[in-house]
Structure 1
């Protein structure tokens, strides 16, 4: 026979108090004496009472869930980001629901259907200005990680990728490199485009040319970067560069593997640099010169800002996090 579920009425009867008094004790409302509250909580525990959270959430019009929308969570960047977001959600009393899809209709149905109290969006290939405007019009609390958006209900938490790209290029130039190739991410990606723009500005300031053949498509992926660099080395009709600057660490690793496959040695023959300082960057042979971006911090700040918007109606803003150049053995002083 199925055991009857303990109700708040049962707790009130066993504790010898009213239902409203039990409710105040369970919800930590500061109107009860300490010994009364302790007695009620002890009785509730003995009776194995489980509060009806669904009812509480319906009354407050909250789900206590935050949605994270992305087309992928593969790779070390997303591992660190998602772990940090999930832990911060738990600390703040929320649950992170990860939605991996490139189906725009499905994403909008979830968001506009108010399944979540707020949403974090990493969707370069799916969400554009039209969708951003729609969410703002519907007062959907949103934080973006892949672009700069700022309005009453929308924030962004991004890296200062332009400055990072500029500083990394200046580092290579300071080592004596004048012929620098750039391995781009996928088209339209905010961080990748900003890193490339910083590269262009630094090269222009130093009056250094960027031949069209020096701009390679790496897609932020090790394999794609490997193939792009290998094909470039084998078919290029221009002088080879003396340095490769990749839009992220995985692309830099793919580049180094391709150069090794072609018989070259890094850093003896080429300097190679990346971005993000993923865990393997420090241990990959040779250890990778890169930009250390605070990935976990980005996740924590995104959750904190979204919860402020949900609970305090905080106005959206752009939060820009700075990275640091980490110099290791993959870049060398050119003589």
Structure 2
């Protein structure tokens, strides 16, 4: 199949080649409507910008880019700090690119201003963007999806095993009616934690129903509101226990049940993921999974350097989490 060219995009869009070039480079000379139309056509015919990676291979910038739509919260603070320290130790600088605009983010990724990049942005960097990264031979480590190839690696937490182990712990405590508060839809950690949870319940013959799932979006307020709306009228059966996709959702869940007149862990056990700082001070202290976040940042840099400096092939590495046992879960009273 013939590879699409910029001329093909221009012909399909009915514009000049220079207009296509300006649109794909997010130039203010092109209107937003025209940009969007050209970008959509380029994606449809699978046009890949002609970037042969010469600048990247020269490795002149001594800079690594971290790409995300957000760096707020406990996870990103630890991650970015560990990445920065490891890069500094190796004589490299760090440039953090935070942008919710998909075009601007992709333009930065393909700019070749970095010797390598670390990506945590499942929503904006989708399959098409990954394809462009691969075809342009940009040395990349992903933290939010399981990928590996000649120039692509990933360093992830073993969220499946953690979800499985945490649910098995609740089962060991005598709980069977266990609900799950989901995080952001289609994110790696949410899907894998949910998969581990469902596997553990299926092993003991529990029929998992649609009512077992809440929407938490990894946010305290979202989880709180969903729990309140579900149980406010008393029409739904209260679960034995709840696995929340992260600690913020677990805390929102506990606050909601307290508002509804239930006690944790006396009436309901609640567990989470991430072991954020407040988890050890919250009442009750939160049983959770602690992931080696700093280790993830260091390994991301180490693997990226192996690909950049030693032409090592990409790898997919999974880091194990650890259950931190605290007060928010207890044995079911029969």
Q: Do the structures match in fold with TM over 0.5?
A: yes
**Paired residues of 1:275 and 1:291 also in contact (CA < 8 A):** yes
Residue 247 to residue 239, structure 1, CA distance change in 2 (3 Å): same
CA distance in 1, matches of 2:231, 2:93: 48
Could you tell me how far 1:261 is from its partner in structure 2? Answer: 1.6
Distance 1:312 1:239, change over 3 A: same
**What is residue 33 of structure 1 aligned with on the other side?**
none
Q: Quote how far apart the aligned CAs of 1:237 are.
A: 3.0
Closer/same/farther in 2, CA of residues 61 and 306 from structure 1, 3 Å limit: closer
Cα drift, residue 235 of structure 1:
4.2
TM-score when normalising by structure 2 = 0.81
1:136-215 correspondence to structure 2 within 5 Å? 136-215=134-213
- Residues 4-63 of structure 1 show CA distances to partners (whole Å, capped at 9, x for unaligned) of xxxxxxxxxxxxxxxxxxxxxxxxxxxxxxxxxxxxxxxxxxxxxxxxxxxxx9995420
Compare CA radii of gyration and give the structure with the larger one: 1
Report matched runs for 1:2-41 at 5 Å. Answer: none
Deviation readout 1:281-310 (Å, 9 max, x if unpaired): 112111111111101111111111112211
Q: 2:277 aligns with which of 276, 279, 284?
A: 279
Q: Which residue of 1 aligns with 2:65?
A: 67
2:325 equivalent in structure 1: 327
User: Where does residue 270 of structure 1 map in the other structure?
Assistant: 268
Q: Retained in 1: the 8 A contact 2:56–2:114? A: no
Q: Is the 8 A contact 2:63 2:92 kept in 1?
A: yes
What is the aligned partner in structure 2 of residue 243 from structure 1? Answer: 241
Q: Distance in 1 between the 2:183 and 2:171 partners?
A: 22
1:128 equivalent in alignment to 2:126 = yes
- Which stretch of structure 1 is more off in the superposition, 74-83 or 134-143? 74-83
- Which residue pairs with 1:53 in the alignment? none
| Structure 2 runs not aligned, ≥5 long | 1-54
Corresponding position of 1:289: 287
Whole-Å separation in 2 of the counterparts to 1:156 and 1:195 = 18
Question: Cα 1:134–1:214, aligned 2, differ >3 Å: closer, same or farther?
Answer: same
CA positional deviation for 1:203: 0.5
**2:223 maps to what in 1?**
225
- Measured in 2, the distance between the counterparts of 1:333 and 1:58 equals 56
Equivalent in 240, 255, 258 of residue 256 of structure 2: 258
CA distance in 2, matches of 1:198, 1:165: 4
Compared CA separation, residues 211 and 176, structure 1 to 2 (3 A): same
The answer as to whether partners of 1:178 and 1:242 remain within 8 angstroms in 2 is yes
Contact 1:294 1:323 in 2 (8 A): yes
| 8 Å Cα contact 2:56-2:112 kept in structure 1 | no
Distance (whole Å) between structure 1 residues aligned to residue 258 and residue 83 of structure 2: 37
Structure 1 residue 211: deviation in Å? 2.4
Q: How many residues align?
A: 279
Residue 89 (structure 2) aligns with: 91
- TM-score with structure 1 length normalisation? 0.80
Question: 1:213–1:236: 8 Å Cα contact kept in structure 2?
Answer: no
In 2, Cα distance between the equivalents of 1:262 and 1:234?
Answer: 7
In structure 1, stretches of 5+ residues that fail to align are 1-56
User: Counterpart of 2:97 in 1: which secondary structure?
Assistant: strand
Distance 1:207 1:152, change over 3 A: same
CA shift for structure 1 position 328 = 0.8
Q: Is the Cα–Cα contact under 8 Å of residues 64 and 116 in structure 1 kept in the other structure?
A: yes
CA distance in 1, matches of 2:178, 2:214: 11
Q: SS state of the match for residue 273, structure 2?
A: coil
